[in-house]
Amino acid sequence: MSTATRLISDGITPDLDRIAGQLRNKRPLMAALGKQLQVDLRAHFMDRDSKPNKRGFPRKHFWRKAVAMHTALTEVAEHSATVTIDSPELMHKITGGTITPQTARALSIPLSPEAYRAGRARLFPRPLTMVVRPGKPPLLVETGVIGKAKSWKLHYVLLKSVTHAADPRALPEPGTLQKSLLVRAREHLDRVLGVS
């Protein structure tokens, strides 16, 4: 599944319509606008990637690896340009929703930096012990001995599902994109008309 942002010359804004109306061949304008949209979207995702995660865990560079690197201008026509963001993970960020386990009986939610780095509990580098608590979700802990006392370190909680809220900052503000596209369209028109 992918999400695509589609840019169409007919009706983006009256200003862009006027600029497109002054051109006999609109395809180069659409290519320029599509490229600008790709650049703006990638810049937004890279900015998101530069921010630390909420828990301060080691960064996995989600916004760069799963979103920015999968954002590309994929089609240019006489009246449109398509920038495709081929990232199912982004769609979940945009819409939010509930995640349930697909290949296990529970989701292993990381509670430590080590667990976050490992991802799934079965990929954790050391053995884990399940702690069952009446009426509460099970925990996965690492056990050990310090001196003569037993110790344990909490790494995961096991849940049947997790619901994420939609991320209102997943995509840039439409107004910001429109301003950038309008500047690019005016530059293109000036170049075509030979205006310096």
> What's the whole-number mean pLDDT along residues 3-30?
71
Q: Write out the two tokens for 102.
A: 């697909």
> What's the whole-number mean pLDDT along residues 110-128?
92
pLDDT of residue 12: 58
Quickly count helices (H) and strands (E) in the chain.
6, 9
Are residues 56 and 68 in contact, defined by beta-carbon separation less than 8 angstroms? no
pLDDT of residue 82: 92
User: Which range scores top for mean pLDDT: 6-10, 14-18, 43-47, 114-118?
Assistant: 43-47
Q: How confident is the model over 37-90, as pLDDT tens digits?
A: 999 999 999 999 999 888 888 889 999 999 999 999 999 998 889 999 999 999
Query: Under DSSP, is residue 171 helix (H, G, I), strand (E, B) or coil?
Result: coil
Q: How confident is the model over 136-158, as pLDDT tens digits?
A: 999 999 998 677 778 889 999 99
Q: Where are the alpha helices (DSSP H) in the chain?
A: 14-21, 27-49, 62, 88-95, 113-118, 174-193
pLDDT of residue 27: 92
